[in-house]
Every structure is written in C-alpha cells, then in structure tokens.
Structure 1
C-alpha cells in the first residue's frame, strides 16, 4: 500500500501524521499518538495490543472490512490475550492475520499507522482528554477539506461548461472544414490551390477576397496553425491522388475526409492542453 502524507493533526502540542492511499480511507499515526504518553511509543502500542478487548475490536473491524482476514489466527490470539506471557506487535498482528487496519511503515514518515476508526480507539486508551483534542483538530481538517472540494467541484463545473462552449463554437467557426456542396464537387477549379482552399476553408481565394475586401493578403494568411498543418498534408495527399489519375470530384471527397479527420484530432489535442480545463 503506497502512502501519501495528507495532513497533520495538531493536538495539545503533539503533531500527528495522517496518510491515505486512496484519498478515502485515512490512516493516523499511532506512533505519534503514543508519544503523548511515553518517549517509547513502540512499547506503548505493543502493550495496548495485548488486551483481549482490543484484539476483539481489531478482529471485528477486519471481518467487516477485510475479505482476506485470517480468522483462525485471530481466534488463537484471542485465546491467549491477557495472559502474562502473551505479547503482540503490529508486525506480528499484520503478518499473521493479513490485517489491513493497522499498517507498519519504515522510512522518513515511518511508524505504526491505523485506520481512523482504530486510531480513535487507541487514543481513548491513551487518554480520553487527549482524544478530544485529536477529534477537534481532525474535524477542522475535514471541514477545510470539504470546503476545498466544494470549491474545486464548482470551479470544475464552470470550466467544463466553458470548455464545452469553446470547443463547439470553435468547431462550428473554423476548425472543421464545411461540408462540400454538390455544386462544389461538380465544379472544375482552375488551380489545385483553389481546390484545396475550397476543401479546407469552404471557399476559393477570390470568394474570400470578395467577402473580406478590407483585409490584406490572402485566405491562407489568416489560417490557424492547425489549418496550415492540415493544408500541407492535403498538398502531399493530393499529389499522390493526381498520380493515381483520380478525377477532381473524387479527389475533393477524399481530401475533405482527410481534412475533417485531422482537424478533429488537432482541435481535441489543443483543448486538452489548455491548463486548468478538464475534459469531460
């Protein structure tokens, strides 16, 4: 189980680490809680685990949450619990019963951690008063987390609506070549350049100038980077089709199919790369 340090509880001068592996189940450091009682937290935790009531609680928790829990080993421990010679450690409990409610970790953020259900029981055993300090700050953390989640949800919702509008408007405006009309397919264009213009932009160079008399240059000067990339690919593909002796109407349909496919792909890539906008 990989762990992600999530936050820290500040309880009456003691810092208690929390981690999660799935951002749902939270594990709280028993080692940190035990420091409230002793400078030897390992001994404190092992002493707690010797209790029969504690083992019964841990066993029931595992039966409710862990399909791989070993009940036979658990029954054996429960029979021995409370005897003077009985000892128990987190590692022994975990390895013998396949427990998941308690986790022993090494490294920088190492120590013994337990699911929050179990950690609060341990805190009660340490000190009911200290447990209240822990719960108070834990609730503060959960309240702040819920506020952040609510803000993120509303932000993502609004960005998703904006993204959808940007995406659809862009496609309608100029990203995807318009459908070829029957007249365009039947028309013989004077140059191959105008053929490509008609396929990609929906109009010839002259038609563009007639619609934009105040603009300098030509239709390709106002094309997007994506359109220019697709135009280059169309030129190469058109050269191949000409060598294959494809008639102009057939070439127009094939080029239009290529343009639509590539512009759709490029527009999706561009929108996915916009920072802070999640695709739905």
Structure 2
C-alpha cells in the first residue's frame, strides 16, 4: 500500500513528508528499500535538506542511498557537502557507481577543485571502475571549467562513445579560452548538430567579440531551421538597438547572392526570425 501511495499519489514534498511519517510509524524505515524510495522522492522534489535528514535517520546505507544524497547536494549547488558525503561513503565501504562519480565531478567543477578531480580520476583508473558517457562528460567538463584543456582534450579523444554534450563541452571550453578556430574545428567535426550546439557556438562567439562570424553562424542556423534560445536572439537584439553594424550582408553582397541564385537574408530579417522563435518558445 505504501509503495502504491509513493508511486501514484505523491506529487510534492508535503505529500512525501506524510508518507515518510506513515512509514516511520509502521517501522518500515528499517527496510532499506523503503528508505531508498523515500530518498528518491525527496530528491525529485528538489528538497536536499529532507534528503539529508532522512539519510541520517536511516539505520543502514548502501551505494544507492549515498548516490541519492550526493546527487541531491550536487544538483542543488551544495558542492562542498556533496564531496563530504562522498568521503563518508568511501569511509563506510560503499563503492560509487557512474551516477555517483558524475555528481562528484560536477561538484569538483563547481568548486573549481581541480586537484580533487585529478585524484578522483586517478582513483577511477586504478580501481578499474566501469565508466559511461555521462560520467566521462562530467570529467571532461571539470577539466574544461578549470582551464585544463590539454587534459580535457586527452579524455575527450579517449572516449569511444561521444554524445552531443561531449562535443558541446569542448566547443564552449575552447571558446572561453580564446581558441576560436579550435572551437570551430570541433563544431565542424560534429556528426550532427542539435540546437544546443548552435547556441553554444553562437553565444561563445558573441562573448568573444567575433560578431561577424556569430552572425554568419546565426544565418546558417536559420537556414537549417534550428530554433534559437532566448539569450542568443536577445544579445543580437541588444546589439541591433545599439546600432552595431556587422557588415555581414551589404548591398553588393546581396546582389552577388541574388545573381548566384543563393538566398539572401539581412541582419534585421535574422533578428526578426530569432525574436519570433523566442516568442514561440517562451510564451
């Protein structure tokens, strides 16, 4: 009955609290499966404090309960507490899994704790723990955020299975370090491009001051029908209001495009397209 209640009827932290109280009265918290399920429900409600309190009340812990605790801290930006929970996990003799390690790397990245991340990376290699794409992405992201592009590239190159996140991390990392051409090389090598890939490179180019190149990519993006996120369109809208001239499509260029049969698109048209997409996406 408790299992049915938590799966079907629980929708917020108040509901979880009621189920928690019921389980405690019935003495069901001794069952680690019940405790784990409640931890998961608190985590899904975004209540890391309740996750922590329940975790401390449970008589026994395992890899799953520790992983929920660490992930809850990491996803709520409480990175130091996530690392403390991870240390406690190891001291208790519970082995982490890929989900645990991904959250730990995320916490190291949030704290820019490069030394801790390197130690963890070495420990994983020595332990022979099986990794997955999500965990390795979090490792690459740690190195990227800490400015260790050599290590980020090395781990990225060793990946046998890359997803869009893998590529987007590398694109953004090189843009932030000022290696514009290297970033564009990663973008060109992408097997397929999703909307995040386009927005990552365009936003990065804008931040780097490469406005003409950014507008070229925005034009290509519009041609391919990819949707814009709000920040990209808004940044171009701001620049347009400040009368920044991109020299992207001048009269001669438009004439050349017309003569070659290639469609032309003015800056204002692209901006209007971006604004339209944003209105559809945000309203």
Q: TM-score, normalised by structure 2?
A: 0.24
Larger Rg: 1
Q: TM-score, normalised by structure 1?
A: 0.24
More strand, by proportion:
1
Higher relative contact order (CA 8 A, sep 6+): 1
More helix, by proportion:
2
